[in-house]
Structure 1
Amino acid sequence: MTLHIDLQAIVANWTALAAKAPGARPGAVVKADAYGLGAARVAPALYEAGARDFFVALASEGRALRPHLPDDARINVLSGHMEGADLAGLVPVLNSPEQFFRDRAMRPGKPFAIQLDTGMNRLGMEPGEWSAIRAEVLAARPDFIMSHLACADEPGHPANAAQLAAFRAMTDDCGVPRSLSATGGILLGPDYHFDLIRPGIGLYGALPFADAQSVLRLSLPVIQTRTVQPGEFVGYSATWTADAPRRIATVAAGYADGILRSISSKGASLYAAGTACPIVGRVSMDLITADVTGLADVPGELDLICPEQPVDRLADHAGTIGYEILTSLGPRYDRIYR
């Protein structure tokens, strides 16, 4: 089982998104192990391209990444200063007054940033909380102030303009760098760019960045092929039955590897040099079965993610989003970088 990961395509996507916000400093979101692709390899490639601001979800992710980046790379922890967290060499993005006072008491003079809630109601200080401690926070000189858009993937959604207005109202005249946009926000245009952008999913070749280069191929080894006769079934619960003699290939991978069971017999395929081989029967823990009757020769590997079936198309078959497909990719894959 092999994930082929194109680091230069990731860098090209970062460069393309940065070019859409020429007045802003381009960071890079590498949380969840760079969306499943390997932060220890992805982040240094982006650093070499010029990225200096990296974002992870947890302090533990930041500690794992820290040895792979030079000292001038800033690793920002989006969950902030959690009780007991080891933040050595990291920058917590503080989400509440409680976190702010904890951080200043335990890390006086150390760098920090602030997240504000502009309407998503998930993380960040609400307007009243921010107003009460704003002067004290600004006196401590945060690295930046950020918020996060709830509906940036839908350009016409009224929440975007409402959150932009709220962010401006809470941060105008702060004299501190500001950050509002991840990938979707970057694509909304200059009003949303401010001083620092945080591209994430777009780096990894998925929507909403429709112009992104493809960055990965997932190849699965064929264990066995067999002929299934009319009336015979394949897989658990006998959900698929052959209506004619069919050649079935069984490949090594399954939901233990993050291949969602919901793609079972839903139109997804494995691919052999561009030829679709429909997935039949249920995805099981370690195995997937596909109809390879149309192939003259069955290769040693079949592709699940490839140009013919990119991440977001596979997500459509699974009834989910590309984010879940990527971040579900498990540890059993060999990851090969180029």
Structure 2
Amino acid sequence: MTRSQSLAAFSDDARRSLSSGPIMLVDLSAIQRNFRKLAQMTHGTCVAVVKGDGYGHGMCEASRALRNIGADLFFSARFEDALTLRAELGVGPRVAVLDGVSPADTMEARAQNIIPVVNSLEQLHVIFGVAKQSGQRMPAFIHLDTAMNRLGLAPDDDKRAEPLLASCNIQAYMTHFASADDVDVDLCHHQVSRLVKRAKRLPRAPLSIANSCGVFLGREMHGDIIRPGKSTFGINPTADAENPMEEPATILAPVVQIRTLKKGDPVGYSCTWRAPKPRRIAILAIGYANGFMRDNSNKGFVMFGKQRAPVVGRVSMDLTAVDISELPETAVYVGAAAEIVGDNITYRQIAETIGTNEHEAIITLGRGCKRFFVNGDPHA
């Protein structure tokens, strides 16, 4: 079944919204199927990483859909998002914060049963103080940096950390692959080895290793807990292979005007494109304010069914022009929907056009387009 077929029954509200601006349709059942597939690939536990507003697909709605199929541990990036998740998911599922919790928020995190990821000795000292004051250990994940040099305890921190870890109910020792996306298997093996060696010198706890790309490098990379984020949301976790996941989002933008140009007529700001001969263009109600990046100017494209329409001129804040001269006149009309992402334009294609990764492209579009959810009750 194609995405357009599965999304055929989207709501009247979505249709009305599409009459004036771009929309993102998110298939919650595709997110659920992706998560189930990932869970079946590991001998350990699969958790839901929903940072970046669910990679642009809607953190709360996606999390409810994943909770409904059994996910019980959710990772956000920021503490504010963790509080939102706790309110949305209720008291049952566990919620953790990848960036950790500030000293000012540690007591609230404890009260809300939000689990910090400890990324520094400073954070560990705060948890030690809270545990000493309350007389109870605080649940925490302990991040051991093995190559990223971003967040996490450095190897030289381990001796000072060890006595403080008695204050923690350690959920797992975790690390993050630096180059799994680039299939740098040697570095991934080196990071696994470093994590295992360091964890052996610390209080016993499970290991959490693989991100999305790491999951597909083999179970020796997984540890006890895998943390696939982007692959749950359909972003290709393999470097060069066909995407093994389903892309849940379809993004559509309406045609708001059709114009006929004479040879030499310019289009858009700074007249960066001129008609080489008489042309027909369609003006779409989408621009960089909606996440359709300005880098699409004169090189991006949209689709009307199976037919491509290239972007001409500069993408502006709310509008984009595309050349429809090669399409039948009946194929494009005021009110027709142009596909920005969908059956014929993958996440990777739109990202490569503007020279970025799928994460940035889809998160930006998700922030800028009004979202609607299909094939599942996000409020269940």
Match of 2:12 in 1: none
- Asked if 1 retains the 8 angstrom alpha-carbon contact of 2:260 and 2:278, the reply is yes
Partner of 1:328: 364
CA contact (8 A) 1:2 1:336 kept: yes
Amino acid corresponding to residue 324 of structure 1 in structure 2: E
8 A contact 2:24–2:366 mirrored in 1: no
Contact map agreement 2:138 2:169 (CA 8 A) in 1: no
Match of 1:236 among 259, 263, 269: 269
Alignment-derived partner of residue 104 in structure 1: 128
d(CA) in 1 for partners of 2:167 and 2:130? 17
Higher mean Cα deviation, 11-20 or 129-138?
129-138
Q: Distance in 2 between matches of 1:160 and 1:222?
A: 47
Partner of 1:284: 316
Q: Distance in 2 between matches of 1:53 and 1:211?
A: 24
Identity of aligned residues (%): 33
Letter in 2 for 1:184: C
Q: For 2:89 and 2:29, how far apart are their aligned partners in 1? A: 18
Structure 2 counterpart of 1:15, from 25, 36, 39: 36
2:254 maps to 221
Determine whether 1:62 maps to 2:86.
no
CA shift, 1:157, in A, is 4.4
| Higher alpha-carbon deviation: 99-108 or 71-80 | 99-108
Note the C-alpha offset of 1:110. 2.9
Corresponding position: 1:263 with 2:287: no
> What is the Cα deviation at residue 162 of structure 1?
1.5
Question: Residue 55 of structure 2 contacts residue 363 of structure 2 at CA under 8 Å; is this kept in 1?
Answer: yes
Structure 1 partner of 2:3: none
Map 1:1-338 to 2 at 5 A.
1-21=22-42, 23-85=43-105, 86-87=108-109, 88-106=112-130, 108=134, 109-138=137-166, 140-172=168-200, 174-209=203-238, 210-266=243-299, 268-296=300-328, 297=330, 298-299=332-333, 300-338=336-374
How many pairs align? 336
Single out whichever of 79-88 and 92-101 deviates more from structure 2.
Answer: 79-88
Give the match's secondary structure for 2:284.
Answer: strand
Q: Which amino acid aligns with 1:57?
A: A
1:95: how far off? 0.5
Tell me the alpha carbon deviations over residues 195-231 of structure 1, each in whole angstroms, 9 at most, x when there is no partner. 1111111111112252011211100111111011111
- Partner of 1:329, secondary structure, is helix
Q: Letter of the aligned partner of 1:70 in structure 2?
A: G
Does the CA contact (< 8 Å) of 2:258 and 2:282 recur in 1?
yes
Relative to 1, partners in 2 of residues 1:322 and 1:332: Cα closer, same or farther, differing over 3 Å?
closer
Amino acid at match of 1:204: F
SS for the counterpart of 1:84 is helix
- Helix, strand or coil for the counterpart of 1:282? coil
* Structure-1 separation of matches of 2:342 and 2:366: 17
Alpha-carbon RMSD: 1.6
3-state SS, counterpart of residue 145 of structure 1? strand
Instruction: Name the SS of the counterpart of 1:206 in structure 2.
Output: coil
In the alignment, the residues of structure 1 paired with residue 357 and residue 246 of structure 2 have an alpha-carbon distance, to the nearest angstrom, of 18
- Aligned partners of 1:12, 1:61: CA distance in 2, in Å? 24
Distance in 1 (CA, whole Å) between partners of 2:306 and 2:146 is 45
Cα separation, 1, equivalents of 2:244 and 2:287: 30
Check conservation: 1:81, 1:103, Cα contact below 8 A: no
TM superposition shift of 1:106 = 3.1
Measured in 2, the distance between the counterparts of 1:73 and 1:196 equals 16
Supply the distance in 2 between the matched residues of 1:255 and 1:114 (Cα, whole angstroms). Answer: 39
CA distance in 2, matches of 1:64, 1:248: 44
Shift of 1:323: 0.8
- Alpha-carbon distance change, 311 to 147 in structure 1, aligned in 2, over 3 angstroms: same
Distance 1:99 1:255 in 2: 38
| CA shift for structure 1 position 139 | 5.8
| Structure 1 position 134, deviation (Å) | 2.1
CA distance in 2, matches of 1:13, 1:332: 24
Q: Secondary structure at the match of 1:277?
A: strand
Tell me the SS of whatever aligns to 1:49: coil
TM-score by length of 1: 0.95
